[in-house]
Amino acid sequence: MRGRPAWETPVLHADLDAFYPSVEVLKDPALAGRPVIVGGTGSRGVVMSASYEARVTGVLSAMPASRARRLCPEGIFVPPDFEAYLAYSRRVREVFDSFSPVVEPLALDEAFLDLKGAGRMWPAPAVLGEALRCAVREATGLVVSVGIAANKFLAKLGSSRTKPDGMVVVRPGEVESFLHPLPVEDLWGVGEQTAAVLARLGLRTVGDVARVPQETLERVFGALGSQLAALAAGRDDRPVVADAARKSVGAEETFERDLTQDVQILHALLHLADRVASRLRAQGNSGRTVTVKIRFGNFTTITRSKTLAHDADSATVIYGAARALLAAGLASRPTQKTIRLLGVSVSQLSDWPASVQLSLARSPRWAEADRALDRVRQRFGDAALGFGALIEPP
C-alpha cells in the first residue's frame, strides 16, 4: 500500500504559553487566574516572564521590576524555580519526541519539530498539531501554541500570532495572505533602528518590503537586505537540526542595593556558583570554561573567562575559578567601588559526569556530597540544604 504524499508544511514550531508562570500555577493552584510575575522579586531586578493576566496591564519580559510594580500593583512576584522549569521541559520534550525523531529545542519552552514523513501516520498537519497540543496538556497540564508551515520562519511566526492556546497551519497558497499584512518588525533581523529606516522609506508592512527589488534592499541594508527579501517572500532554507548543543549554563543576579563589601560579593558569587553547578548536574552536563560577568554601579560591564584543566560540575570548583576571575576583573577597574550585577556561567559543555582528575579539591566524597545535595533539594526544595556560608547573608 503506497503512503500519502509528503506534506507541504513539514515544520512545526511549538511554544509553551507563559511557561514560567504556568509552572508556578501548577506548583500552587491558588495562583490560577492571578497576575503572576516571575523574577523581579527585588526592587532592582527584572521581570523574566509574566502570566497573561499580568501582561494585559503592560508587564513585559525584561522590564525593570519597579516599573512592573507600578503597572501591576496587584502582581504576585515569585522567584524563578529553574529546577522545576527544567523538569517540566523534560516532560514536554518526551511528548515532542513521540511525534517526531527530529526535535530542535530553542529554549526550555519552545522547539521546532521536523514532520517529514508524518503524513504516513497522520491524515493532515492540523490533526497532528492538535494531537500534540492535547498530549502536552495531558502529560503536564501546560498549554502549547503551535504553528505549522513550510519552513522555520513561517512556523515560528505562526505560533506567535496564534498565542495563547492556539494553532495555525500556513499552507503554501496562503503565505502571502498570512505574511504580507504583518508589520515589518515581524521579520527576523528587524529591530528598532532597522524598522525606523524602513519607515522612512515608506515600508511598514511585510508586503511593502516584498514589493521592493532585492537589489534595492541590499544597497540600503547590505547583507541584511537579501535576508529581508527572502523572509518577506516567505523563504527560509534552514533545516530543523536535532538537539543543537546547548552552549552554556549560567545564572546572574541584579542586586537590590549595590554590593560594596568583599564578604557580600563573595557570598553572592558562591550562591551563583552553587546554582550553576546544580543546573549542570540536573541537565546531565559538565563544563570546562568558567565565565564571570560583572556590572558596576555605573553600568559598566566586563566579563572574564578561564578554561579549566578538567570538566567541572561542582560548586567548589566553579566557585574557585569564579573567585579568581572576579579578583582579576576588580583589579582591572580599581576606581569602581560598587557592583550592581554578578553572573557566573560554564561553557564548553560535555556529557556528565565530569571527567575530573582526582585531587584534594575534587575527591569521590565531594562527588557523593553533590549527589546527596541534589537528592535532598529534589525532595524538599532548593532551600533545604546548601553551603554553610549561604545560610545567613552577611
Please give the positions annotated as active site.
110
Cell digits of residue 306: 578561564
User: What residue ranges in the chain does DSSP mark as E strands?
Assistant: 11-16, 36-39, 47-50, 76-78, 103-107, 110-114, 144-149, 167-169, 248-259, 285-296, 301-312, 339-351
Grid cell 513539514 — which residue?
A: 10
Residue 340 one-letter amino acid = R
Contacts (Cβ under 8 Å, ≥6 apart) of 368:
none
Number of H helices, E strands in the chain: 14, 12
CB 82 within 8 A of CB 23: no
CB 184 within 8 A of CB 205: yes
CA atoms of 124 and 118, how far apart (whole Å): 9
State the alpha helices, DSSP H only, in 45-146. Answer: 52-55, 65-71, 82-99, 125-140
Number of alpha carbons in the 13 Å side-chain half-sphere of residue 89: 19
CB 302 within 8 A of CB 329: yes
Q: What strands, in cross-sheet order, belong to the sheet with 103-107?
A: 103-107, 110-114, 11-16, 144-149, 167-169
Cell digits of residue 122: 497522520
CA torsion sign for 215, 219, 223, 227 is: negative
CB 147 within 8 A of CB 162: yes
